[in-house]
Amino acid sequence: MRPQAGPHAAPAAGSPTTPADSAATPADSAALPATAEDPAAVSGQDTRAVGLAAVRGAIAVDADTAPAIARATHDLLTALLTANRLERDDLVSLMFTQTPDLTATNPALALHEAGWDLPALCAQDAAFAGAPARTLRVLAHLRWARPGRPVPAYLAGAAPTRPAASGPGSTREPDKV
């Protein structure tokens, strides 16, 4: 087994030290074979393959009360985590919007009060003709290490705000629950 070289690494007992060893960089260690001490080698997973993805979701809220908004926030995030087989730690940050008729509280405050330690931002949803009432939307940024895209979640009658196709001849499929 070759020891990891670096400015503060001690050579293994009985191994010679050369200028090349003391000048090794983190990039050099990527070329080393996996060892039993390497968690990626033990688990068989490549821990460097995690990327960033975003997924949308929405939920209709029963009433303009703090408990109803908190419950809807929790239900929406639970649905997104479950649908994508994720843990809470996989979430990086959250961007919420809520319709102008939801004023009792906001999702970021509800999460904070529930003990979530996660960056979250809230804004008022854009008003447009035919907009649904009492709707909470989220854009969740998450760590994603699988092929494909995360699955969005639309609950309690909420639906995506943009049409299934982006324009004439688009091959974009509609979002699925």
**Residue-wise pLDDT tens digits, 87-103:** 999 999 999 999 999 99
**Residue-wise pLDDT tens digits, 17-51:** 444 444 443 443 344 344 444 444 444 444 445 79
The structure's pTM equals: 0.64
By percentage, how much of the chain surpasses pLDDT 70? 63
Region for residue 92 given its phi and psi (left: phi exceeds 0; alpha: psi -120 to 50; beta: otherwise): alpha
List the helix and strand counts (H, then E) for the chain: 5, 5
